[in-house]
Amino acid sequence: MSRIVPYDPSAPLPRKPGHTSRGRLERVLRRGEFAVTAELNPPDSADPEDVYERAAVFEGWVDGINATDGSGANCHMSSMGICALLSRIGFATVMQISCRDHNRIAIQGNVLGGAAMGVANFLCLTGDGVQAGDQPDAKPVFDLDSISLLNTLRTMRDESRFLSGRKITTPPQIFIGGAINPFAPPYDYRPLRLAKKIAAGAQFVQSQYCYDIPMLERYMDRVRDLGLHRQCYILIGVGPLASARAARWIRSNVPGVHIPDPIIERLEGATDQKREGKRICIDLIQQIREIEGIAGVHMMAYRQEELVAEIVHDSGILKGRQPWHRGMDTDPETALEEVLEEVQST
Amino acid sequence: MPRITAYEPAGAGPVRRLRSPFTIRQWSVRHARFLERLYTFFADILLGLHPLWRALGYGRVERPVKSVEQVVKGFLFDCRMCGQCVLSDTGMSCPMNCPKGLRNGPCGGVRANGNCEVEPDMPCVWVEAWSGSRQMAGGDHIQNVQPPLRQSLRGTSSWLRATAERAAREEAARAGGADAP
Ligand code: SF4
């Protein structure tokens, strides 16, 4: 039927049984494909072209684009604005919501607004403290925390009501995500924290930067013992480091990033540090892919976004699969299913 | 009182260490098991006094009870009187001391030394909570998903509210039991 009407890239896909959203990311993950998402560096401008340009480098290489919500407590274009621009031309977006800047009234309104614009994926975050960014004198909100935020979104979707109990006439059809950081203390609590997020409604999680494979392995061992990898899709955060100096700066200034010394030494020893950074990133991805229970990677190539396509290509994680890009006349899977349905009905 | 010397562990001089508000808070977490038992005992007494509270009127006893609660819990836990105490679910470490007010577990910014992202000199309240919870009989309550804070209850006595709620529950159960054949 959708082949009769001209294909509208921004229209949500038909919802499949067992799916909670009408987006592509959920489909890719449920199909068991190794997924790739990427973080868009939000512009400090009001020009939509800046967003489109930054998204263009990801096109055809990623299954979802994360629109950050004042990441690092710095001011940028809002996640809502970026999602509005990208979803109208068909990109699958992951709208980040941070508890730092909005109270429960604003958040619930934004979820309805985002879902109405075609955002299928929401990522629930606590948010960095205001001290980390360019506005340290701002009033931190933190009305909800990441877990009560997850629970709020699930209540809105599954019970068609706001936190107050008031009814929502058309609930948002969304895929709900959270964040994990296996690389911060208390280390032995971190897997249980994931369990708690799942209990609160997380269907997928994206992790903080991973530069320490043994630590990730220990975390995943515990996650598998608890059976959590079967209840939630786990995407591990990766990103190329531009230089040893940049790595040191990140390590001491960005909250929650753990970069072990051997990585920095490897960068220092290289003649071309930027290339080595990319090489390290590819190595990490290839090791991450081998760990049982990991569903994909989340690329955070801050200010090196142009490298994402190369890294995804060189690491071979897509195995020849091509994520959505403009001009793909329809979602390949939808097309296949329609053919199958036709065959079955004849 | 510690002698004033040139010895400064972790860069904290003796005056700072004397002033440190974390000593007692950390003692409470280390004795989470004991405080848990003490609280259970104490909660039963409060419940036993329910007829008295009711006779006097919960509204009227609110002020004095709240003042006592504020002093006792302020001393032991640096309590912030959120009015919805969850200490028994959080290893006796008050989550309202987290600069982000997180009531459901640590954020991702905890420093490698276990200190807070926002307050570099303060041990993360959730690192403490986890270690406290490991000693408690009800330590697994740390996995309970806490609802968002009700701002309207700030500054009220959570002892009295918990008592009133528990009394109501028990009355309901008794009424239910009496109705049953
Ligand atoms: S590091 Fe701990 S105390 Fe500090 S903001 Fe995060 S959870 Fe709260």
With CA atoms as reference, the chain A residue closest to B140 would be: A192
What part of B 3-22 touches A (C-beta under 8 Å)? none
Q: What does the DSSP 8-state code read for residue A267?
A: H
With CA atoms as reference, the chain A residue closest to B146 would be: A148
Cβ(B129) – ligand 1 distance below 6 Å: no
Cβ(B106) – ligand 1 distance below 6 Å: yes
| pLDDT tens, residue by residue, A198-210 | 999 999 999 999 9
Strands (E), A143-200: 175-180
| C-beta pairs of B9-15 under 8 Å, 24+ apart in sequence | B12/B121
**The pLDDT of residue B3 is above 70:** no
Which pair of structure tokens corresponds to residue A225?
A: 């013992």
B127 touches chain A (CB under 8 A): yes
Q: Answer whether residue B6 is part of any domain.
A: no
Residue A133, C-beta contacts closer than 8 angstroms, at least 6 positions apart: A70, A72, A73, A74, A75
Distance (Å, whole) CA B138 – CA B134: 9
Q: Do the Cβ atoms of B90 and B127 come closer than 8 Å?
A: no
Please count the CA atoms within 13 angstroms of the CA of A342 that sit on its side-chain side. Answer: 9
Can you give the pLDDT at residue B11? 47
B103 touches chain A (CB under 8 A): yes
Please count the CA atoms within 13 angstroms of the CA of B164 that sit on its side-chain side. Answer: 13
**The pLDDT of residue A222 is above 80:** yes
- Radius of gyration of the CA atoms of chain B, in A: 19
Q: Do the Cβ atoms of A311 and A301 come closer than 8 Å?
A: yes
Question: Collapsing DSSP states into helix, strand and coil, what is residue A304?
Answer: coil
- Going from the Cα of B40 to the center of ligand 1, the distance in angstroms, rounded, reads 28
Can you give the pLDDT at residue A217? 98
Q: What does the DSSP 8-state code read for residue A330?
A: S
Can you give the pLDDT at residue A10? 72
Ligand 1 atom 4: residue of nearest CA? B116
| Contact state of A140 with B99 under an 8 Å Cβ cutoff | yes
**The pLDDT of residue B181 is above 60:** no
| Contact state of A186 with B145 under an 8 Å Cβ cutoff | no
Distance (Å, whole) CA A44 – CA A330: 33
DSSP assignment of A104-135 equals: HHHHHHHHHHHHHTT--EEEEE----GGGSS-
Can you give the pLDDT at residue A336? 65
State ipTM.
0.90
Degrees to nearest 5, angle at CA A321 with A32 and A92: 75
Question: Collapsing DSSP states into helix, strand and coil, what is residue A175?
Answer: strand
**The pLDDT of residue B14 is above 60:** no
Q: Do the Cβ atoms of A36 and A71 come closer than 8 Å?
A: no
Range of the domain at B114: 19-167
Chain B residues near residue A184 by CB distance under 8 angstroms: 106, 108-112
Residue A220 dihedral angles phi and psi, to the nearest 5°: -70, -30
Q: Answer whether residue B173 is part of any domain.
A: no
Residue A13, C-beta contacts closer than 8 angstroms, at least 6 positions apart: A22, A23, A24, A27, A331, A334
pTM of the model: 0.91
Q: Answer whether residue B153 is part of any domain.
A: yes
With CA atoms as reference, the chain B residue closest to A180 would be: B108
Ligand 1 atom 1: residue of nearest CA? B116
| Contact state of A140 with B102 under an 8 Å Cβ cutoff | no
Tell me the nearest-neighbour CA distance from B158 into chain A, angstroms.
20
| Contact state of A258 with B112 under an 8 Å Cβ cutoff | yes
Residue A299 dihedral angles phi and psi, to the nearest 5°: -90, 120
DSSP assignment of A65-108 equals: EEE-SSGGG---S-HHHHHHHHHTTT--EEEEEETTT--HHHHH
**The pLDDT of residue B172 is above 60:** yes
**The pLDDT of residue A298 is above 50:** yes
Which pair of structure tokens corresponds to residue B32?
A: 């989470």
In one letter, which amino acid is A244?
Answer: A
Segment A258-284 mean pLDDT: 97
Tell me the nearest-neighbour CA distance from B80 into chain A, angstroms.
16
The CATH fold assigned to A24-345 is TIM Barrel (3.20.20)
Grade residue B5 by pLDDT with cuts at 50, 70 and 90. Answer: very low
Chain B residues near residue A255 by CB distance under 8 angstroms: 108-109, 117
Segment A105-124 mean pLDDT: 97
Question: Collapsing DSSP states into helix, strand and coil, what is residue A207?
Answer: strand
Query: B7 versus A44: which is more confidently predicted?
Result: A44
Q: Answer whether residue B107 is part of any domain.
A: yes
Nearest Cα to A240, choosing from A209, A272, A213, A206? A209
Question: Collapsing DSSP states into helix, strand and coil, what is residue B46?
Answer: helix
| Contact state of A131 with B118 under an 8 Å Cβ cutoff | yes
